[in-house]
Amino acid sequence: MPQRLSFLGTNVPYEEARVVILGVPLERTTSWRGGQAQGPNAIRSASDSVEFFSPHFRKDVRAARIADLGDLDPYRSVEEILAEEEAEVERILRDGKVPVVLGGEHTVLVPAVRAARRLGALQLLALDAHSDLRDEYLGLKVCHATALRRAGELVENLVIVGARSFFGADLEEPWFATPTGFSERLRPDLPVWLSVDLDVLDPGLCPGVTNPEPGGLSWADFLGILRDLRRFRVLGMDLVELAPMWDPSGVSAVCAAKILIETIAALWV
């Protein structure tokens, strides 16, 4: 039988792992172009093209002992998928491991934060081109356009970096910060959940996303954020909204794989 894809070809048993990858290929509340369901496996496939070693943080990510649980079954109701994700993330955290959720649409942030919040007070750092702060969108209270509003209601502190698309009223919200000033807005006494929507990057760097926005973070900006984050305890992360069908070159998937490698090297090795 053919072997399923895994990130960096890892086959570390769950019991021995420090970092645990969980794919949630959810694509149900897309408002423009889709393709996010292909994201997790595109990231896994692209990881075959990159090295294990981070030259920026001088770490080999294999030292993080990465396990890849594969994907949740996407052929169920949204409620069932999100409930299973929440249970899995909570299990991973209670086992003393670091969950890394691969989306899928940004909606997958909400159950991950809900699970992490059960273990205690929490703050959320979100890297996103869009504010995602609507109270509802197209009649939905939980969807990609409300993800940061719903997650923000669960945490003690929300900080959003990279936003450059707003629906109006959200522009005055107090949670926005710059790539160089965000760490001053984080509390040193609380653990952090990191949420990375790939559209936070400049679309010239990562065009294969569902809702690209002109401008955005550079690769140097992203690495700088990771360097500042090393001062905080980061419990886990989600990486969402890769839509590889919109980037035939495959560069966006490689970029996503490199984001995971550098984040793991910076925070969990």
Q: What percent of the chain has pLDDT over 70?
A: 99
Instruction: Give the C-alpha distances (Å, rounded to integers) separating 97 from 15, 44, 87, 94, 161.
Output: 9, 20, 14, 7, 26
Place of tokens 């909400």: 110
Cβ-contact 186, 122 below 8 angstroms: no
Whole-prediction pTM: 0.95
Could you tell me how many residues make up the chain?
Answer: 269
* 30 pLDDT tier (thresholds 50, 70, 90): confident
- Residue 3 has a pLDDT of 61
- The pLDDT tens digits of the residues spanning 48-68 come to 999 999 999 999 999 999 999
- The arithmetic mean of pLDDT across residues 221-234, rounded, is 98
- Residue 234 has a pLDDT of 98
| Strand duo 59-60 + 53-54: pairing | antiparallel
Whether the per-residue pLDDT at 1 is higher than 50: the answer is no
Q: Could you tell me which residues come within 8 angstroms of residue 202 by beta carbon, excluding any fewer than 6 positions away?
A: 215, 216, 217, 218
Under CATH, to which class is 7-267 assigned? Answer: alpha beta
Q: What percent of the chain has pLDDT over 90?
A: 85
Cβ-contact 89, 101 below 8 angstroms: yes
Domain boundaries, the chain: 7-267
- The pLDDT tens digits of the residues spanning 32-53 come to 788 999 999 999 999 999 999 9
Q: What is the DSSP string of 28-81?
A: SS-SS---GGGHHHHHHHHGGGS-SEETTTTEEGGGG-EEEEEE---SS-HHHH
Name the residue among 268, 150, 255, 262 with its Cα closest to residue 200: 255
Mean pLDDT score of the chain: 94
Whether the per-residue pLDDT at 203 is higher than 60: the answer is yes
3-state secondary structure of 5: coil
- The arithmetic mean of pLDDT across residues 125-131, rounded, is 95
Whether the per-residue pLDDT at 269 is higher than 80: the answer is yes
Report DSSP state, residue 242: B
Q: What does residue 189 show for φ and ψ, rounded to 5 degrees?
A: -95, -5
